[in-house]
């Protein structure tokens, strides 16, 4: 007969019907199931202290609920009915034990493998991986410090090994984001997207690392991910591919590289708009902005300001964007802030418009004399052909608001004078025409104008030797006050309101004065000879010396004569073959400037602080000259010349 323990085990495992069990124990007393169960609860066949009812193997004293489980031997020592190959009870076994069953445990041997640590239930293929703690929770056999599996770890984790993962801890550092596989030291870095993909530690908007970003091509600029302190760089880098090019970088001239990003021409060091002659262009001194072709020469130095090869040769240019035809009699005048050059001519073109027998005044600002001038057509006529022609000579004066002028009009039936007041603010004109008084049809040869308040005075000489005086008290009335004409034989005139004699003129080889009351209503002139044996080619009057001086061009004597009309004092200035003359004094330096032309067609400028010791320089002219004018304002001296009927002008710095 079987022991009760064995019988219980056999019964429980075989589940045999009681009749079969009875047959198997033939010859024994009948035992019911209850008897068996009652017996199993007390019987302990292996003597291990556990009744057969609780002992999963009552035939082996080493197997019972109180036994210590020895894992991985296929025996359920503690009768827990667990898979003997899943010690941590996490539902996974090591690959080594995959499929192995545990004796007496149903379903054992069916657990999946992959458990890399069967002593820790938190470690299994189904576990959630906690990175950077050195534990391979999910048994993926990856380096726990390379979360994004890009082959790099953070510098702080370099050399740290992962438990149970061979060769871990050997990955290189430098990973600035261990959650993104495309961010690591080997990743390609896309510039200007604000991400430091290669973990280089550089501002993503400073490709060349020179400390500046290209603000012209990167409208959006901010911090770069993973780079502390980024997003603070200054802009204006003009080449973000060259770390030698950035604002304030040393800039070597004439190498064609804008190293300091100032957008300046690398061949124009002085930024005067002209490139250096040393680099193959035409600026003869690229360190001085005042020196360049077309520069303004200075009389006070020996520098070749205009780069023409001669420090004392001066160049004249056309003025005001005007095309001239038969220009004549240039005159300068000044007001408080501008210098004006007036030129009458037979035809002028300005801004595409054509004007016949007109007069233009070109005005330069004394504060910015190099800027483009303003053009005032103070007498304009668009009729073609004109019903009149402008004769020789003009009178010209300016105030801050008005241009005053007088022109000679030649018509088929005679001649006359046109007085004009031009309002520069409103752009309007007022005029009075004074007709000749039946002395014949003679073209005018010379004019002179004086202005006192709103009253205009003019003296004129014609080719018939007639002297005319006219006065307009109120030009807006359209009427003249006085018009007197006498046949005297004069062909040059000069007028002043400052002296006792209003008009001077030449009669043959004598200089005459014509005395009368310029503000009265009655004439004739009272004439007297001032000097004899003079050959005068030009006559002018100036008050620049403080008192009226008469200026005479005397080609036979080879002098320019200045005569104080109050004291009679005379100063002669050597000027060989002088033909035409104009004189002015600088208001800032008191230096005298005398522009004059000679019978050879050359123009000259004599200057100095004393009329007895002048220096003379020549002007480079485009053709033969006959008439000149000089003017000065704000430290600049101006000279105009009519050469072959074309008006040209040039400026000289004092």
Greatest CA span in the chain, whole angstroms?
190
> What domains are there in the chain, each with its CATH number?
274-311 (no CATH), 318-490+580-653 (2.115.10)
pLDDT at 19: 36
Place of tokens 């690229």: 286
DSSP 234: -
How would DSSP label each residue in 447-480? Answer: EEEEEETTEEEEEEEETTSEEEEEEES-GGGT--
Q: Considering only CA atoms, which of 484, 513, 485, 482 is closest in space to residue 499?
A: 513
pLDDT at 250: 94
Name the E strands within 488-624.
Answer: 490-495, 503-507, 510-515, 526-531, 538-542, 549-554, 559-564, 570-574, 578-585, 592-598, 603-610, 613-620
Contact 640, 341 (CB under 8 A): yes
pLDDT at 341: 93
Instruction: Please state, in angstroms and as integers, the Cα–Cα distance from residue 33 to each residue in 44, 242, 301, 447, following that order.
Output: 18, 98, 140, 159
pLDDT at 625: 62
pLDDT at 17: 38
Contact 291, 285 (CB under 8 A): yes
Q: What is the pLDDT of residues 288-343, one digit of tens each?
A: 998 988 777 777 778 888 888 887 666 666 666 788 888 999 999 999 999 999 99
Contact 469, 434 (CB under 8 A): no
How would DSSP label each residue in 181-214? Answer: TT-STTSPP-TTSSB-TT-----TT-TT-SS---
pLDDT at 654: 65
Q: Name, in order, each residue with C-beta under 8 angstroms of 172's C-beta and a sequence gap of 6 or more.
A: 151, 152, 153, 158, 185
Q: Considering only CA atoms, which of 298, 321, 323, 324 is closest in space to residue 311?
A: 298
Place of tokens 């620049």: 544
The dihedral formed by the CA atoms of 557, 558, 560 and 563, expressed in degrees to the nearest 10: -20
β-partners of residue 647 are: 642
Contact 495, 502 (CB under 8 A): yes
Angle, CA of 593, 596 and 599, to the nearest 5°: 165
pTM, two decimal places: 0.62
Strand order in the sheet with 625-633: 317-318, 646-653, 636-643, 625-633
User: Tokens at residue 525, please?
Assistant: 């002139």
What is the CB-side half-sphere exposure of residue 17 using CA atoms within 13 A?
A: 3
What distance in Å separates the CA atoms of residue 265 and residue 246, rounded to the nearest whole number?
A: 16
Mean pLDDT by 10 residues, the chain (654 residues): 47 40 49 70 81 85 89 91 92 94 91 92 94 94 94 96 92 96 96 94 94 91 93 94 95 93 92 90 91 79 84 68 87 94 92 92 87 91 80 94 94 86 96 78 90 95 92 95 92 90 93 93 89 91 79 94 89 93 87 89 87 82 74 85 77 67
pLDDT at 287: 93
In terms of phi and psi (left: phi > 0; alpha: psi -120 to 50; beta: otherwise), the region of 31 is beta
Q: Is 4 helix (H, G, I), strand (E, B) or coil?
A: helix
β-partners of residue 227 are: none
Contact 390, 413 (CB under 8 A): no
pLDDT at 12: 45
Q: What is the pLDDT of residues 451-496, one digit of tens each?
A: 999 999 999 999 899 999 999 999 999 999 999 999 999 999 999 9
Angle, CA of 374, 375 and 380, to the nearest 5°: 160
Count of all residues that appear for the chain in the document: 654
pLDDT at 538: 93
DSSP 223: P
Contact 408, 391 (CB under 8 A): yes
pLDDT at 22: 41
pLDDT at 20: 36
What distance in Å separates the CA atoms of residue 341 and residue 361, rounded to the nearest whole number?
A: 5
Q: For residue 6, how far is the Cα from the chain centroid?
A: 106
Going 278 to 280 to 282 to 287, the CA torsion angle's sign is negative
pLDDT at 51: 84
Q: Name, in order, each residue with C-beta under 8 angstroms of 454's C-beta and a sequence gap of 6 or more.
A: 421, 473, 474, 475
């Amino acid at each position: 007969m079987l022991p009760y323990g064995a019988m219980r085990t056999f019964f429980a495992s075989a589940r045999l019907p009681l009749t079969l069990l009875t047959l198997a124990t033939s010859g024994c007393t009948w035992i019911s199931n209850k008897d068996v169960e009652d017996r199993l609860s007390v019987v302990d066949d292996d003597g291990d202290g556990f009744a057969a009812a609780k002992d999963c193997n009552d035939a082996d004293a080493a197997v019972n609920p109180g036994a210590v489980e020895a894992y991985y031997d296929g025996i359920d020592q503690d009768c827990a009915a667990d898979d003997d190959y899943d010690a941590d009870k996490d539902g996974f076994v090591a690959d080594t034990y995959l499929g192995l069953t545990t004796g007496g445990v149903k379903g054992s041997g069916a657990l999946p493998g992959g458990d890399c640590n069967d002593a820790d239930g938190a470690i299994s293929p189904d576990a959630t991986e906690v990175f950077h703690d050195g534990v391979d929770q999910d048994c993926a056999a990856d380096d726990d410090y390379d979360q994004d599996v890009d082959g790099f770890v953070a510098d702080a984790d370099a050399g740290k090994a992962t438990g149970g993962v061979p060769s871990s801890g050997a990955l290189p550092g430098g990973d600035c984001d261990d959650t993104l596989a495309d961010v690591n030291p080997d990743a390609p870095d896309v510039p200007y997207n604000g991400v430091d993909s290669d973990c280089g530690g550089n501002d993503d908007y400073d490709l060349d690392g020179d400390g500046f970003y290209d603000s012209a091509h990167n409208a959006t600029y901010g911090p770069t991910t993973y780079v502390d302190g980024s997003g603070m760089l200054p802009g204006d880098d003009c080449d973000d591919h060259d770390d030698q090019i950035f604002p304030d970088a040393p800039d070597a001239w004439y190498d064609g590289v804008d190293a300091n990003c100032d957008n300046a021409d690398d061949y124009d060091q002085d930024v005067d708009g002209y490139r250096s002659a040393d680099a193959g262009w035409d600026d003869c001194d690229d360190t001085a902005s005042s020196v360049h072709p077309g520069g303004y020469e200075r009389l006070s130095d020996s520098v070749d300001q205009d780069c023409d090869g001669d420090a004392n040769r001066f160049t004249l240019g056309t003025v005001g964007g005007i095309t001239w035809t038969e220009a004549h009699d240039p005159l300068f005048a000044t007001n408080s802030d501008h210098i004006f050059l007036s030129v009458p001519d037979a035809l002028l073109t300005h801004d595409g418009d054509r004007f016949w027998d007109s007069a233009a005044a070109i005005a330069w600002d004394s504060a910015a004399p190099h800027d483009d001038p303003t053009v005032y057509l103070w007498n304009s006529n668009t009729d073609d052909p004109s019903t009149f022609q402008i004769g020789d000579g003009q009178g010209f004066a300016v105030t801050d608001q008005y241009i005053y002028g007088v022109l000679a009009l030649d018509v088929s039936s005679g001649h006359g004078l046109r007085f004009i007041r031009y309002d520069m603010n409103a752009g309007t004109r007022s005029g009075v025409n004074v007709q000749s008084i039946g002395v014949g049809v003679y073209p005018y040869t010379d004019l002179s104008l004086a202005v006192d308040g709103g009253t205009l005075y003019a003296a004129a000489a014609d080719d018939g030797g007639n002297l005319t005086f006219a006065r307009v008290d109120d030009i807006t009335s359209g009427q003249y006050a006085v018009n007197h004409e006498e046949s005297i034989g004069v062909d040059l005139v000069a007028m002043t309101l400052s002296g006792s004699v209003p008009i001077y003129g030449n009669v043959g080889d004598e200089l005459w004065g014509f005395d009368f009351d310029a503000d009265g209503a009655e004439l004739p002139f009272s004439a007297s000879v001032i000097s004899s044996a003079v050959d005068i080619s030009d006559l002018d009057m100036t008050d620049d010396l403080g008192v009226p001086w008469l200026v005479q061009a005397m080609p036979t004597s080879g002098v320019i004569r200045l005569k104080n009309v109050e004291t009679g004092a005379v100063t002669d200035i050597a000027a060989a073959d002088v033909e035409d003359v104009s004189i002015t004094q600088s208001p800032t330096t008191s230096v005298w400037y005398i522009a004059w032309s000679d019978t050879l067609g050359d123009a000259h400028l004599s200057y100095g602080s004393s009329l007895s010791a002048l220096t003379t320089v020549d002007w480079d002219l485009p053709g033969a000259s006959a008439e000149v004018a000089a003017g000065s304002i704000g430290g600049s001296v101006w000279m105009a010349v009519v050469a072959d009927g074309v008006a040209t002008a040039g400026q000289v710095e004092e």
